[in-house]
Structure 1
Amino acid sequence: MIKKDVLFNEFLIRNATPEDAVQMEYVQQQCYPTLDPTELLNRNHFINHIKVFPEGQIVLERDGVIVGSASTFRCNFPTQESTFLESSDNLWITNAHVPDGEWMYGIDMGILPEYRGLGLSKEMYTVRQEICKELGLKGQLIAGMTIGYGKMKEKMTIQEYCYALEIKKFTDPTVTPQKKAGFRWIKPLYNHINDPEAGFACVFMYYPVDDNYKLECKL
């Protein structure tokens, strides 16, 4: 079980329990106000995630109050593109989870808005990486939400947006911190998630346990 103090012991990262589900639902609602309601995780989803893959569900708390949460499942590297709902088994992960899968797929990472900018998401990704090492996984996979792309959608394609991020022409509130945390880009995903702020797009990324690992298989 994971239990780690971060930021001068002010915050605690630990494995989630079913009793956390209501607070995790609140974090989800506050973090994704423009995400379509059909794609928002609720308390029942979180409870099922904990049942299916307890090692992969973590929360961030301060003084006993949950201010962040993250949900994952195990899988093998996908062989075809899918939407957020398709890849997550309609948010339940039951049929998406592969008990002996080689990768940890992160479908959610949320920090309450008032606690952003402290590096807490990076701390949570680091803890997830530690879990990957303990389980003998190759690393993490995510579809990072391009939160800044919605404002640029009429001016450039998602590929052009990603290139602009790569040359640091500007930053993205979600993807830039994920890159700093250690994630590497694989490819952009059109119409992956129902969120106009993200331009309905995401970027498929991986974070290998072995720094020397180079992903050869790209969709």
Structure 2
Amino acid sequence: MYKSEFFVYEQGKPYSVCIRNYTKDDFDGLIEIQSECFPPPFPSDLWWNKEQLANHVELFPEGALCVSVDGNLAGSLTGLRVNFDPAHPDHTWEDVTDNGYIRNHLPDGNSLYIVDISVRPNYRKLGLGKLMMQAMYHVVIEKGIDRLVGGGRMPGYHKEASSMTPEQYLEKVMAGELKDPVITFLLRCGRVPVAVVKDYLEDEESGNYAVIMEWKNPFKNEGVPGNGI
């Protein structure tokens, strides 16, 4: 099981941080975090429920991480294992995650798929999302999984949709000409775009599009020019 304790600093002030696997005792707090991260008009029935969370800790506890700051629950990151083929990236969030219930988790799946990442708004300046993502990279390496992958929303796209395609929007974000709250964050975490997919999730801000983004296990990245293989 995973547990890492350390300090982060914001404006010179230290905060005690712990990243660990979440358990049944955390369920109420995790649902509260979802309500803060996805307020109305986001439908409340899409927040975590206790049956989903119970599946996370039973079926793939290594993929159920949370972060606390000074003892207060501040965020979570959830994943499952699937078989993912980058040559055929089209899928929906509902299908690949079993609508968040992860009953389709494959213990020997070649990829760790990110179901959700959430950080309380009041704690977002501490870089907790990136720290949890890095912790999940440790899981990928420890278990010898090929990659970490997931779909990134494009919540800034609706502002530009009348003048460019989602692919063009992604190009401008990657060039630094535009900044997207999610895609820019994932790029900073080391994730690399694989493809833009449509109808990934009912998401008006993103036009229902998402960018499938991966992080390859550097210890299993074979056949890349210049790596000595």
Same fold (TM > 0.5): yes
Q: TM-score, normalised by structure 1?
A: 0.90
The answer to whether 1:63 aligns with 2:70 is yes
The answer to whether 1:209 aligns with 2:209 is no
The answer to whether 1:23 aligns with 2:29 is yes
Contact 2:82–2:113 (Cα < 8 Å) also in 1: yes
Deviations 1:107-161 (A, max 9, x none): 1001111111322111111100001111111120010111211222222211111
SS of residue matched to 1:10: strand
Larger-Rg structure? 2
Q: TM-score, normalised by structure 2?
A: 0.86
SS of residue matched to 1:160: helix
Show the counterpart of 1:10.
16
Q: CA deviation at 1:44?
A: 2.2
Q: Distance in 1 between matches of 2:45 and 2:223?
A: 32
How many percent of aligned residue pairs carry the same amino acid?
28
Q: CA deviation at 1:93?
A: 0.7
Show the counterpart of 2:181.
173
Q: CA deviation at 1:63?
A: 2.8
Contact 2:156–2:181 (Cα < 8 Å) also in 1: yes
Superposed CA RMSD in Å reads 2.1
Runs of 4+ in 1 over 4 A off after TM superposition: none
Question: What does 1:141-160 align with in structure 2 at a 5 Å threshold?
Answer: 141-160=149-168
Question: Of 88, 96, 113, which aligns to 2:97?
Answer: 88
SS of residue matched to 1:129: helix
**What stretches of structure 2 of length at least 5 have no aligned partner?**
9-13, 225-229
Q: How many residues align?
A: 215
Show the counterpart of 2:227.
none
Q: Which segment drifts farther, 42-51 or 97-106? A: 42-51
Q: Distance in 2 between matches of 1:20 and 1:41?
A: 12
